[in-house]
Amino acid sequence: MSETPGLRERKKLRTRHALITAAFELFMEKGYEQTTVSEIATAADVSTRTFFSYFASKEDVIFHNSRDGIEHVLRVIAEPRPGDRAIDLLTRAVTSGFSMFALDEQLQREIGPANHLVMTVPSLRARGLLLLFESQRELAEALHRAFPEELSLVEASAVVGAVVGGGKLAAFVSMSNGASPEETLKAGRQAVEFTLSTLRAASSQPS
Amino acid sequence: MSETPGLRERKKLRTRHALITAAFELFMEKGYEQTTVSEIATAADVSTRTFFSYFASKEDVIFHNSRDGIEHVLRVIAEPRPGDRAIDLLTRAVTSGFSMFALDEQLQREIGPANHLVMTVPSLRARGLLLLFESQRELAEALHRAFPEELSLVEASAVVGAVVGGGKLAAFVSMSNGASPEETLKAGRQAVEFTLSTLRAASSQPS
DNA sequence: CCAGAAAACTACATCAAATGCAAAATTACA
DNA sequence: TGTAATTTTGCATTTGATGTAGTTTTCTGG
């Protein structure tokens, strides 16, 4: 594995990085809507058309690393341990996701500005919600696959939707009220753990 | 109240209705993205520019009645009954929302095509998720206002997010799997009731 | 190092959504 | 009926996004 990629690949990576960096700098400096794709391309020293061969849309630059989180969680879901109930596995997956995020400072630095943009620009918020929604579908599907007897697909969706939905709204509202990133993360995590724990209680003493 | 509105107002309503009708017919016939605003305007017998004085964007035609549901729910939240806990009020509000919807056949007919479009077209799904998200914020805010002692704003957000999030994902996944509108509604309702009931159990026996 | 193949980049042209603006048409009202 | 207020319209403009054809760059094998 990990052969040194050729010049072509390295250049592509550099261009991609240059586009992302230039885009974020411009977005932060003069606002998302006020920045044109042409300006981004110029700042990254490529043609406008080339921008669109790296990103399908202006929005996509913001979400370029949006799949990292979900894929981490999916890997955990794919490896259930003996004795796990669905709720246990989901708990471990989500907890693992939080701690991965908490440890990765690089990721947090990248996510900070993106977060601010998503919070402020409606079209980006919509896009972010869509991506999160699709991730939830994947997560529900994976959870159902891991415990096909215990949870139907729709039941898994209900559980995943509740856990993620609660965390999402709590975090967002918290941040809207001026909480620091740390407080926001904590609010989201607490909401997730709260929902998980009530679900766990419900599943151990079935009615 | 209810003076007969003048000719000007009546014409505006007619034009608005014509735009909505024409838009939906064209969307269903040849697809959302394949339909241009200019075509909609022509079908409704107005200029393209006029379309944009009725709707801020092409997407907005789809969601013209998106606030009806949330406003109904907010009205219920605004009238707590003596003895209500937050979870009781939320339960009643959501249940009332479901039954209002179930009874209103006109609404269902209107919502059918819109739903299909939202399911199929990603940009519309994103927009729908954004609107639902903002509604959840309002709902959480209202619930917090009704029970400021019992629930902080962030706690109310966690609860509302969990209830709505579970129902949303369950309904969507159900429909994606080919369920009929009735089955879909049932799946969403069951998910909502499931989350509500586990939360209710948790809140009556606090740890 | 060179020639040919493959890939990436660029410079167009084009289309649709959306906005601003001023002139024309319509409605309201005294 | 005449004038004020409002709505509609046409036109220009900006921007995101896509298709295409030709040029440049990189890769590969000799």
Identify the residues numbered 181 to 200 in chain A whose C-beta atom is closer than 7 Å to any atom of strand D.
none
Nucleotides of C under 7 A from a protein CB: 7-13, 15-21, 26-29
Q: Would you put residue B2 in left (φ > 0), alpha (ψ -120 to 50) or beta?
A: left
Checking if the pLDDT of A2 tops 60, the result is: no
Q: Which token pair is B151?
A: 């629930």
- Residue A200 contacts B where some CB pair is shorter than 8 Å: no
Whether B108 contacts B99, CB under 8 Å: no
- Residue B166 contacts A where some CB pair is shorter than 8 Å: yes
Instruction: Provide the 8-state DSSP code for B114.
Output: H
The Cα B135–Cα B81 span in angstroms is 23
Q: What is the pTM of this model?
A: 0.95
**Which CATH code fits B63-204?**
1.10.357.10
SS3 of B160, please?
helix
Residue ranges of domains in chain B: 5-56, 63-204
The Cα A42–Cα B191 span in angstroms is 50
CATH number 1.10.10.60 given to A5-56:
yes
Tell me the pLDDT of chain A averaged across its residues: 94
* Confidence grade of residue B206 (pLDDT, cut at 50, 70, 90): low
The Cα A198–Cα B199 span in angstroms is 7
The Cα A98–Cα A90 span in angstroms is 12
Domains B5-56 and B63-204 belong to one CATH topology: no
Q: Is the CB of residue A56 inside 7 Å of nucleic acid strand D? A: yes
Measured in whole angstroms, how far is the alpha carbon of residue A207 from the centre of its chain? 35
* Confidence grade of residue B1 (pLDDT, cut at 50, 70, 90): very low
Read off the pLDDT of each residue in B181-200 and give the average, rounded to a whole number: 95
Q: Would you put residue A83 in left (φ > 0), alpha (ψ -120 to 50) or beta?
A: left
Whether B69 contacts B138, CB under 8 Å: no
Checking if the pLDDT of A4 tops 80, the result is: no
The Cα A43–Cα B5 span in angstroms is 55
* Confidence grade of residue A205 (pLDDT, cut at 50, 70, 90): low
- Residue B190 contacts A where some CB pair is shorter than 8 Å: yes
Q: In terms of C-beta density within 10 A (0-12 exposed, 13-18 middle, 19 or more buried), how is residue B73 classed?
A: buried
User: What does the pLDDT look like over A131-141, one tens digit per residue?
Assistant: 999 999 999 99
Instruction: Provide the 8-state DSSP code for A79.
Output: S
**Residues from chain A contacting residue B137 (CB–CB below 8 Å):** 169, 172-173, 176
